[in-house]
Amino acid sequence: MASASNLTKLRYRFIPDHVIGEILSKKWIDNAIPFLVLLCVIAVFGTLIPNFFSASNLSITSRQLGEFALVGIAMMVVIVVGGIDLSVGSNFALGNFMTLALLNLAGWSVWAAVPAVILICGSVGLLNGVLVGYLRLRAFLTTLVTLIIVRAIVDMLLLKYAQAMSMSFYQSDLWDLMGLGGFFGIPFSFCVLVVVAIVGHVLLTRSRPGWRLMAIGGSRRSAHNIGLSVRGTVCAAYTISGMLCGLAGVLYAARLSGAGTDTGMGLEISALTAAVLGGNSLGGGRGSIVKALIGAVIVLIMTNGVLRLGLNSGSGPMVLGLTLIFAVFVDVRWLKNRDKLLNKVYVSPTYIELPEPVATSASSGTAFALNDRLKHVEIIGLAAVESPEDVILDEDDYLYCGTRHGDIVRFAPPDYTSHEVYAHIGGSPLGMSWDRDKNLVVCVGGMGLYKIDRNRNVTKVTDETNRSKLSIVDDSRLRLADDLDIAPDGRIFFSEATIRYEMHDWPVDALESRGNGRIICHDPKTGKTHTALRNLIFPNGVCTAHDGQSILFAESWACRINRYYISGPKAGTLERVLDRLPGYPDNINRASDGTYWAAIMGMRSPALDVALRMPGFRKRMARRIAPDQWLYPNLNIGCVIRFNDKGEVLESLWDQGAENHPMITSMREHKGYLYLGGITNNRIGRIRLEGRNEAWSGYSNYWGGRDGERAA
C-alpha cells in the first residue's frame, strides 16, 4: 500500500501531465496539422521523385514558390478580414502582361515598370476593395466579376499586342538577376518572398493595422461597434492583395518572359486551396503568414510532384482534390473539437498528501476549538459591497475595501454608515497595503498591481514579471495577484495564486493542487519586477514579519504558512511556520501584540483530503462531469486564528451558527477592533477585541507615527 502510494507520488512528481494541456492552449498549435501534412507531402514526393532534394530542383521549386506563395499571402490577407478574392489569378496575369508590355513595348526601365505594375494591380484590388468594403457587396460574387473582367481585358490586350511583344526582347542585368539570379544562391523571388513574409508577419501580429484586420475578420459587428473603420480596413486588405498579385506577376514575367492566355488560369483555386490547407479559416479572424506559407508549399509540391511523376492528365487534379477534402476535413474537425479537447485535458490534478488536521471540536482543548466569539459581529455596509476580499483602515479610521465591480469603497468613521467609491480600478481588487507615502497599493485579480495615491489617481505599478525559461504557458503576465505587503526598504512582495488559471477559475486550481503559484517582488526604486519563489500551492496572504526581515505567506491548498527571509543573515531561505491547519489559510496580517492574525477561508473535509491523494479520480471527475458538480474545497465557513512567530496558534474566533460572518478571507486589527472581509460576502464585519492596545494601527505599526516618520 505504501509503495503504491509512493509510486503514484513519483509518477505525478516526474511526469508533467499539465504540459499537454498547456501546449494545446498555445496559439501556434493551430499550425500543427497543416505542418504534419506538409511533412507527409515532402516525405511522399521526396521518396517518389528522384532528385527531389537536389540543389537544382530545390532552386527551381523555391523560385516558383516565391511567386505562388505571394499569391497565397494575397489570398490570406483578404480571407483573414472575412472576405475572399477570386480575382488573384486574373490580376496575376494582368501583372505579368503589364510588366512585359511596359518593358518590351513601352521601353520603360525595370525601376519604373515594377512599381507601375504593382500600382496597376493594386488599383484592381482597390476596385474590389471599394466594391466590397464601401458598397458592401458580397466578396465572392464581386471578385468573381472582377476575375472575369480582368481576364477578358488581358485576353483582349494579348490579342492586340502578343505578336509585337514576342518580337522584342528586354534585357538588363537587373532583369536577369530577378529572373535567373539571386543572392548567395537563393533565387531572387524567394528572397522577395522572405522579405514580404517577415514584414507581413510583423505587421499582422504586432501592429495596430494588423490587429484591426484580425478584429474585423473575427467579428465585423463588434469591430464596427467599438469604432474601428471596418470599410476602410476591408478596402485596404483588398488593395494589398492586389499589389501582392502584381508583385508575383512581375516575378513570373522575369522568370518566363512570356505571356499567354493560360497564365494564372485556375490560380485562384490553387491559392484558395493553399490558404485553406494552411489553416486559414474562411469567414475570417483566423490566419497568419505562416499558415499561408505552409499551404503554399504543400500545394506547390503536390502539383509539381504529380507533373513530375508523369501520371496521366487526370491524376493531378484527383490528388489535389482528395488532399483538399482531407485537409479541410481534419482542419474543420480540429477547429471544432480543439476547445473540447483542451477542456478535457487542461485540468491536470496532481498528488498531494495533506497531514492530519488539528482537531477543532469544542471539546478538543486545542486552540482551534470551536467557539462563538464571532457571533455578535457588527455588520458594516450590508448589501453595499460585493465580495470585499480584503479590508484596510487608514490613520483617520476610514475603512477601505475592494468590490468585484473593480471599485475601492471607503466607509467614513465613526459609525461607518456612509460610504463612497474611493477609486475605480477595474478587475477584482483583492489584497491591499499602505506604503510609506500613504498610497494604497492594491493587488487586482486579472490586472496586476495598482497604486492609488492620496489624490485618488490610479496608476499601474506592475503587471508583468520575468518569463521563466522553461514554462510553456506565458507566465510573464500577472493573472491572479492576490495579496501583497511592503518591506521596510519599500520592496513590494506579492503573491500570484496561480499561473495556469484566470481569476474566476481559481477553484479549479484547488482541484489540481499543484504548485502553480509564486511570490513576486517589485522594487519601486528600480521599477523592476522579478519572481522570488515559484511552484507554491496557491500562495496567498503575504505579511511582513514584525522584525521586517522576512515575509509570511500562506499556501492555501496545502494548508500551511511559510516564512521567506528577504533580508538579514538568512535572506533567501524558506521555512515552514505552521502546518496541519484544519482549513485553507488566506490573508495574514499583523496583530498589535507582536503576533499575527490569519484568516481561514474554508475548512478541510475528509472526502476532499482523500481525493487529493487520488489524482486519477480527480482527473476522471474533471473529464466526465460538469464543472458545477466537481468536488471543491468548502469556502462557506471559516475562522480567524492568531499565531506567533514560533508557529504556535494562540486563539481562534468562530461563528459557529454561521449567522453573521462565517466566511472570512481577511481581517485587520485597528484601534481595538478587528475588521473582517470575505470574498463571498456582501458585508464587512467588525468586532471589539478585549484587552488590546487601543491606539495601535497598521499604518503606524509599519511606518511609525502619523507622517510616516519612524519613531526613534
For the CB of residue 41, give the shortest distance to another protein in the complex, in Å.
16
CA gap 69, 601 in Å, rounded: 58
Sequence-distant (6+) residues with CB within 8 A of 267 are 71, 88, 89, 92
Cα R_g (the chain), whole angstroms: 34
User: Binding another protein by CB under 8 A: which of 16, 115, 258, 283?
Assistant: 283
CA gap 486, 522 in Å, rounded: 10
Per-residue x/- track, 610-649, another protein (CB under 8 A): ----------------------------------------
| Window contacting another protein (CB under 8 A); options: 97-105, 137-145, 205-213, 688-696 | 137-145
For the CB of residue 141, give the shortest distance to another protein in the complex, in Å.
6
Interaction of residue 160 with another protein, rule CB under 8 A: no
Interaction of residue 667 with another protein, rule CB under 8 A: no
Exposure of 398 in the CB half-sphere (CA atoms within 13 A) = 18
| Window contacting another protein (CB under 8 A); options: 42-50, 146-154, 203-211, 632-640 | 146-154
Report the C-alpha dihedral over residues 24, 30, 31, 33, rounded to 10 degrees. Answer: 80
CA gap 120, 104 in Å, rounded: 17
The interface with another protein within residues 333-372 (CB under 8 A) comprises 333, 336
Nearer to another protein, 143 or 498 (CB): 143
The interface with another protein within residues 117-136 (CB under 8 A) comprises 131, 135-136
CB atoms within 10 A of CB 189: 27
Interaction of residue 329 with another protein, rule CB under 8 A: yes
| Window contacting another protein (CB under 8 A); options: 246-254, 315-323, 605-613, 687-695 | 315-323
CB atoms within 10 A of CB 612: 24
Interaction of residue 89 with another protein, rule CB under 8 A: no
The interface with another protein within residues 47-86 (CB under 8 A) comprises 82-84
Report the C-alpha dihedral over residues 244, 245, 246, 248, rounded to 10 degrees. Answer: 90
CA gap 585, 368 in Å, rounded: 13
For 241-259, give one letter per residue: b (16+ CB within 10 A) or e.
bbbbbbbbbbbbbbbebeb
Per-residue x/- track, 210-239, another protein (CB under 8 A): ---------xxx-xxx----x---------
For 402-423, give one letter per residue: b (16+ CB within 10 A) or e.
bbbbbbbbbbeeeebeebeebb
DSSP β-ladder status, 428-434 and 419-424: unpaired
Interaction of residue 149 with another protein, rule CB under 8 A: yes
User: Binding another protein by CB under 8 A: which of 53, 111, 140, 183?
Assistant: 140
| Window contacting another protein (CB under 8 A); options: 26-34, 310-318, 460-468, 624-632 | 310-318
Interaction of residue 284 with another protein, rule CB under 8 A: yes
Nearer to another protein, 133 or 615 (CB): 133
How far apart, in Å, are the Cα atoms of 456 and each of 348, 399, 525, 657?
42, 15, 22, 40
Nearer to another protein, 277 or 293 (CB): 277
Interaction of residue 303 with another protein, rule CB under 8 A: no
Residues that bind another protein (CB under 8 A): 82-84, 131, 135-142, 144-149, 151-153, 155-156, 219-221, 223-225, 230, 265-266, 269, 272-273, 276, 282-284, 311-322, 324-325, 328-329, 332-333, 336
